[in-house]
Chains A and B, each alone.
Chain A
Amino acid sequence: MDYSDTENLGTEPHQLAEKASEQVRNEPGKEQRRYSVGIDLGTTHCVLSYAVINNSEDDLFLQHVMAIPQLTSPGVVEENAQLPSFLYQPHEAELADGSTSLPWIAKPDFLVGEIARNLGSKTPIRLVSSAKSWLCHTGVDCKAPILPAEAPEEVARVSPFQATTAYLQHLRDAWQSLHPNAPLAQQDVVITVPASFDPAARELTVEAAKSIGLTQAILLEEPQAALYSWIENSQGDWRNHAGCGDIILVIDVGGGTTDLSLIAVTQNNGNLELTRVAVGDHILLGGDNMDLALAYSVKSKLEKEGKRLEPWQIQALTHSCRDAKEKIFNHPDIDTIPMVVANRGSSLIGGSLRTELTREEVQRLLVEGFFPQVAVAEKPVSRVRTGLRTAGLPYAQDAAITRHLAAFLSKQQAATEDLQDINLPENATFLHPTAVLFNGGVLKAQALAGRLMEVLNAWLAAEQAPAARLLTGADLDLAVAKGAAYYGFVRKGKGVRIKGGTAAAYYVGIESAMPAVPGMAPDVQALCIAPFGMEEGTQEELPDDEFGLVIGEPVRFRFFGSKTRREDKVGVRLDYWTDEELSELDEIEITLSEEGRRPGEVVPVHLCAVVTEIGTLELHAVSQKDNSRWKIEFDVRTGE
């Protein structure tokens, strides 16, 4: 089969989707949707969970996690609950013909899933990983082919956007092959994104879904999904575990990222309400860093014995460290785990390296290294970056998750000021959570979860606040996907819904009218265009702030977000702010199309912000004269 055929394969369901939506439009009374599908598009793994929601009278919610057929090695297809988020581009001579076929396609363009991870562990120059983290990386164009970043010229590169699309496409095709009579494009699809994703990254995720025909997909923040899963799992009993006045801290430590959110429990007319009041920054720090830390420590131990390790051996060591770590954490009676790095040749006994990992090392490196006992006033250490930076991901410089947590809680001290049901004591120096929900595979380790609670409760005890409770019962690996599927059910009015709106206030930078001073950049004012907590399906206009835009000429604005300024209304101009308050996002760009207008004509416009039902932020330039609208693009990156 040639490539043009496979491309057809890719586009056909899209047309199907259009037909389907037409059908829905034509027969408004008829129930077309059958499943609520939740997709956890993780940094290291993707999971798809689904439930039948056909019978709208039925309150029963029966959930499944789809076993995703995927290649695990050339010619071998297995079904796993998780699809590793890796993409591999094989060399044309690398794999035998027909050894990459999947049940739905004879020759996929890219290899994704387990096979990509396996092949890529030996040939990293062809492997794309952590595409999701690139989506939220300011300073790169996410639609430009930039991955793998370290590949030689000859290897065709893909964009982070393409990689994300490839994972979604695999999930869609897998779904289609398992449910031939229920195309995914006709189901309620919820895709989760980190709470810390900026508007551009959310937009890209939605666009990726749209490009494979999932035009109906909506977004949900991962920590919220985890809480939904906990609520669903409690079978209605959650009200006995969380009450009015509670502040639930969701700590999600995944393979590559750490995501923090605060959700307040309040009361309205006797009903409990959940409001997501704050989200943390995008912290690139997760379980993979921990495995790597162990591997490098073992490596230095071996080097002290005079044994040099090659890169592939470190890779193998990282794998063994992951397993060894889990064994040490799960079995309190084991103190040392022998580790063997086998020779790559066929002689197994001759060339193997032996070493061991001790409980003391795991304790020191992971518990003390990633979860040190720090004071709540401590801030994550950030070193000054050296002048020359390779184009890579902005990994967190401080590995201490507890320090990031301390900074988050201190920064968000005022997050619940507007809520009457929640009262912080006078002396509080940080927001006091009363309950904690964990998510992510890392926190399955009792030692790490326990340490995190211990540190948090020590902070609370220092301010005479009661200790926070741990909310249990969620499946830490699959909760996000499950919660997302449950959210589809909740949206039908079947359960309590977490309110939230935008997790930040957004501003555009406007040069203030001041005489130019040589050598000084003109002062910039930040004009608030979308306030904090803007609800889905609402819009805000700024009719008083008018810009003259020239038809056909792109105009760029600096764009800022703030996760702490809750009180700013639309139209507020800030003259001064600290780096802590406002963080600069990628520039946004407006180009007024020439339809029916003369190029060069100046059109007076004002800005308008819309939070869509999907969960993305859209900015429009609205003409003052005839109300015509132009969409403002987010994904214009300054790095070009």
Chain B
Amino acid sequence: MNTNYAIDLSLKPTTFDLWHVCLAGTVALLSIIMIVLLLSVLIGMLRCRKKRQSSQQQVMTAEPVVKVVEKIVEVEKIVQAPAPEPIVLKESTPDAALQLLSLLQKEARFIDFIKEDISAYADVEIGVAARVVHEGCSKAINEHFTLAPVRTEQEGNKITLAQGFDAATVRLTGNIVGTAPFTGTLIHKGWQVNNIRLPKLTQGHNASIIAPAEVEL
């Protein structure tokens, strides 16, 4: 059997034998794998980008909401305790409204005031109680919320809203016709909450008890 192979690059194959079939098959297979791989990478990247965009959009839409009570403060706490079961502070999500009521009751006797029948009292007496409520409310609100006016201009002044103003932060009323820029009178400067610092609650805490009954022994 002749095992001497000569290398001659000018030679052209004339017979399409089994070896050539195998060779062609391998090339085809490899190229298919390549294409599939590249495609999957491309699709994966596209998906990722979409997700990031959508989450950014969520953040964007969540920001200007001024509804104080429903806003969720998500503070992730890394708790490293050597105890067998880690203690996780409950997020204030569903309890936030109750929490706010509890704060207002504690500092300002808010629920007491609202629940009392004031028709039986003279204005002077109500005024005395209103001081307690006002003082306490302002303490509770200032401690837990950072409030700022939406517009810093003087109320009653004329202001102009350029095209593309944020309709969520400025509400147009009255004779709304024509196109922006709109010029009108600032009736109310608006309020926005820039920061919320609500207390965290322990796992077992029953937030629906706004004020526990008090029994003196």
Q: Which residues of A contact B (CB under 8 A)?
A: 1, 5, 8-9, 12, 69, 72-79, 96-106, 176-177, 180, 323, 338, 340, 342, 344, 346-350, 352, 354
- What are 9 A-B pairs at a CB distance below 8 A? A9-B83, A12-B82, A74-B205, A75-B206, A78-B199, A101-B202, A102-B87, A177-B77, A352-B132
Taken residue by residue from 45 to 73, chain B's Cβ proximity to chain A (1 for < 8 Å, 0 otherwise) reads as 00000000000000000000000000000
Q: Which residues of A contact B133 (CB under 8 A)?
A: 348
Count of inter-chain pairs, beta carbons less than 8 A: 106
Give CA–CA (A177, B81) in the complex, Å: 8
Asked if B80 is an interface residue, CB under 8 A from chain A, the answer is yes
Residues from chain B with a CB closer than 8 A to the CB of A350 are: 116, 121, 125
Whether, in the assembled complex, B20 has its beta carbon less than 8 Å from a beta carbon of chain A, the answer is: no
Contacts of B201 in A (CB 8 A): 75-77
Kindly specify which of B31-39, B106-114, B150-158, B177-185 makes contact with the partner chain.
B106-114
Do the beta carbons of A98 and B128 come within 8 Å of each other? no
- Give the shortest distance, in Å, between A315 (CB) and chain B (any CB): 13
Cα-based distance from A174 to B26 in the complex (angstroms): 65
For residue B135, which residues in chain A have a CB less than 8 angstroms away from its CB?
323
Best-buried of B121, B202, B203 by chain A (most CB within 10 Å): B202
In the assembled complex, the Cα of A8 lies from the Cα of B81 at a distance in Å of 11
User: Which of B118, B129, B200 is in CB contact (< 8 Å) with A78?
Assistant: B200
Contacts of A99 in B (CB 8 A): 202, 204-205
Quote the shortest CB–CB distance from B216 to chain A (angstroms).
8
CB distance from B153 to the nearest CB of A (A): 27
User: Would you list the 3 A-B pairs with minimal beta carbon distance, nearest first?
Assistant: A98-B204, A75-B205, A180-B80
A349 engages B77 (CB within 8 Å): no
State which residues 78-137 of B face A: CB under 8 Å.
Answer: 78-84, 87, 89, 106, 109, 112-113, 115-116, 118, 121, 125-126, 128-129, 131-133, 135
Q: Does B17 contact A (CB under 8 A)?
A: no
CA–CA, A101 and B202, complex, Å? 6
Say yes or no for B74: interface residue by CB 8 A criterion: no
Report chain B residues within 8 Å CB of A180. Answer: 78, 80
What CA separation (Å) do A98 and B88 show in the bound complex? 12
B8 CB within 8 Å of chain A = no
Besides A102-B87, A177-B81, A350-B125, 19 new A-B residue pairs in contact (Cβ under 8 A), listed by A number: A5-B83, A9-B82, A9-B83, A12-B82, A75-B204, A76-B201, A76-B202, A77-B89, A96-B206, A98-B202, A98-B204, A101-B203, A101-B204, A104-B79, A323-B135, A340-B129, A349-B116, A350-B121, A354-B128
Chain B interface size, as a band, is 35 or more
* Residues in B whose Cβ lies below 8 Å from that of A74: 205
From B118, which residue of chain A is reached at the shortest CB distance?
A: A349
Kindly state the separation between the CA atoms of A349 and B132 in the bound complex, as whole angstroms: 10
Give the interface SS of chain B, mostly helix, strand, loop or mixed: loop
Q: A78-B199, A354-B128 are in contact. Are A106 and B87 (CB under 8 A)?
A: yes
A5-B83, A177-B79 as given contacts; A348 in contact with B116, CB under 8 Å: yes
Instruction: Name the residue of chain A whose CB is nearest to the CB of B133.
Output: A348
Contact across chains for A97 and B204 when beta carbons are under 8 A apart: yes
Q: Smallest Cβ distance from A82 to chain B, in angstroms?
A: 13
Question: Smallest Cβ distance from A225 to chain B, in angstroms?
Answer: 28
Chain A residue nearest to B114 (CB atoms) is A348
* B214 interface residue per 8 A CB criterion: yes
B80 touches A177 (CB 8 A): yes
CA distance A347 to B121 in the complex (A): 12
Q: Is the CB of A104 within 8 A of B202?
A: no
Complex: chain B residue closest to A98, CB-CB:
B204
A75-B202, A99-B205 given; A105·B129 CB < 8 A: no
Q: Contact check: which of B78, B81, B121, B131 meets A105 at CB < 8 Å?
A: B81
Whether A348 contacts B113 in the complex (CB less than 8 A), given A99-B205, A177-B80, comes out as yes
Distance to closest chain B CB from A303 (angstroms): 19
Give CA–CA (A529, B59) in the complex, Å: 69
B residues within 8 A CB of A346? 112, 115-116
Partner of A73, one of B106, B112, B197: B106
Q: Which residues of A contact B82 (CB under 8 A)?
A: 8-9, 12
Query: Which chain B residues border A176 with CB–CB below 8 Å?
Result: 80
Residues on B with beta carbons closer than 8 Å to the beta carbon of A349: 113, 116, 118, 121, 125-126, 128-129
- State A338–B124 Cα separation when bound (angstroms): 13
- Least CB separation from B122: chain A residue: A349
Q: Is the CB of A352 within 8 A of B129?
A: yes
Contact of B79 among A75, A103, A347 (CB under 8 A): A103
Contacts of A1 in B (CB 8 A): 83
A72 and B199 in contact, given A98-B205, A177-B80, A349-B121 (Cβ under 8 angstroms): yes
Please, how many angstroms separate the alpha-carbon atoms of A106 and B113 in the complex?
A: 36
Residues of A within 8 A of B106 (CB): 73
Q: Are A103 and B87 in contact (CB under 8 A)?
A: yes
B125: chain A residues within 8 A (beta carbon): 349-350
B214 adjacent to A344 (CB under 8 Å): yes
Q: Are A76 and B83 within 8 A (Cβ)?
A: no
Asked whether B87 lies within 8 Å of A104 as measured between CB atoms, the reply is yes
CB neighbours of A9 from chain B (8 A):
81-83
- A76, B132: Cβ atoms under 8 Å? no
- In the bound complex, CA of A593 to CA of B113 (Å): 69
Interface string of B183-217 (1 = CB under 8 A from A): 00000000000000101111111100000001000
* Inter-chain contact A340/B128, CB cutoff 8 Å: yes
Bound together, the chains give a CA A344 to CA B213 distance in angstroms of 11
A78 to B202, CA, bound (A): 11
Contacts of B126 in A (CB 8 A): 349
A348 touches B199 (CB 8 A): no
Chain A proximity of B36: nearest CB distance (Å): 44
